[in-house]
Amino acid sequence: MESAEIRDVVVLGSGPAGLTAAIYSARADLRPLVLEGEPSSSSDQPGGQLMLTTDVENFPGFAHGVLGPELMVSMRAQAERFGAEILTERASRVDLASTPMGIWIGDRDLPEPTLRARTLIIATGARSLMLGLENEARLLGHGVSTCATCDGFFFRDKRIVVIGGGDSALEEALFLTKFGDSVTVVHRRKELRASKIMQDRAFRNEKITFRWDSTVVDVLGDERLTGLRLRDVNTGEESEIVADGVFVAIGHAPSTELFAGQLETDEAGYLVSREGTKTNVPGVFACGDVQDHVYRQAVTAAGSGCMAAIDAERYLSSLAQT
């Protein structure tokens, strides 16, 4: 790629939102360039969160479900088929005030951007939240995980704990029953946030037990995880439980650091989009989980990716007419 090449459409992110935006803008002959992220980075998994799931049972068109990674590989191939160019890179800096906008890949301190874009579609998604405990970070990859699909296999016949009470936590717990001897869900309240269908499945599963009203105060183990110290939120009493694996599933945070000070965000840090997918900067559109903390589904992300591509196309047409 030549230095400061100008593209009509650059898409940041390659989950359902980014790839759907790429499919639509490629079919509109806009030759989109997708920066899909880097596999080594925890914050921008190419393919997005579906790469870390197993069965997706609610994406329309798949009567018998589809594996998350399979769906994403297929969306990527579909985007490429229509001429989207996909780079396994991440943007290190953006300048949304210049025209065309500047995008840096690699060294963010270089004076000139790597490429320029007339429109930018932001689909950088959201990532897993952590408890924020020192030993949690130290033992990540040594018994502590955020991805059952990736790591469940390592805990065959082991004692597993899942932290959280939402759909993610129960999905992880149910998946982990395929491997573990037991799965204990530790939740800070005594009511789950998860949907009724997931609750029913979890309550029916003999391997799953619940530890209610409990917060994690420490993650135990030297080289490898050995257990957790919990606190009962009602009595303040602390106790330890033995665990070989802990899966943290307490929600997500939007990946918006790149746009700090340039794009409007809400109080939770999600990008604000209005009139479809428009942000506060003309020519910049946001779609998928980076701007949605309400629905957060693959199908809604894909739908908003389609909207972003149409909004970008209309914006480019309006530029051409002026």
Annotated active-site residue in 150, 181, 200, 222: 150
Number of residues that bind ligand NAP (CB under 6 A): 17
Annotated active-site residue in 55, 95, 147, 218: 147
- As a whole number of angstroms, the distance between CA 128 and CA 252 comes to 4
Nearer to ligand NAP, 34 or 50 (CB): 50
Instruction: Determine which helix (DSSP H) or strand (DSSP E) holds 183, and give its type and residue range.
Output: strand 182-186
- As a whole number of angstroms, the distance between CA 18 and CA 14 comes to 5
Angle ∠(309,253,18) on CA atoms, nearest 5? 20
Q: What is the DSSP letter of 139?
A: T
State the nearest-atom distance from the C-beta of 132 to ligand NAP, in Å.
7
- As a whole number of angstroms, the distance between CA 282 and CA 274 comes to 12
- Locate 252 and state its tokens: 């997500």
Give, as ranges, the residues between 163 and 222 that touch ligand NAP (CB under 6 A): 163-169, 171, 188-189, 193, 195
- Per rule CB under 6 A, is residue 288 in the interface with ligand NAP? no
Nearer to ligand NAP, 76 or 187 (CB): 187
Annotated active-site residue in 8, 55, 95, 151: 151
The alpha-carbon radius of gyration of the chain (Å, integer) is 21
Nearer to ligand NAP, 37 or 166 (CB): 166
- Per rule CB under 6 A, is residue 125 in the interface with ligand NAP? no
CA-nearest of 280, 286, 274, 273 to 312 is: 286
Helix (H, G, I), strand (E, B) or coil at 8: strand
- What character string, x for contact with ligand NAP (CB under 6 A) and - otherwise, covers 246-275? ----xxx-----------------------
CA-nearest of 85, 103, 86 to 94 is: 103
287 is catalytic: no
φ/ψ of 165, rounded to 5, equals -135, 15
- Per rule CB under 6 A, is residue 50 in the interface with ligand NAP? no
Nearer to ligand NAP, 31 or 188 (CB): 188
- Per rule CB under 6 A, is residue 131 in the interface with ligand NAP? yes
Q: Give the residues lining the site for ligand NAP (CB under 6 A).
A: 131, 163-169, 171, 188-189, 193, 195, 250-252, 296
Catalytic residues: 147, 150-151
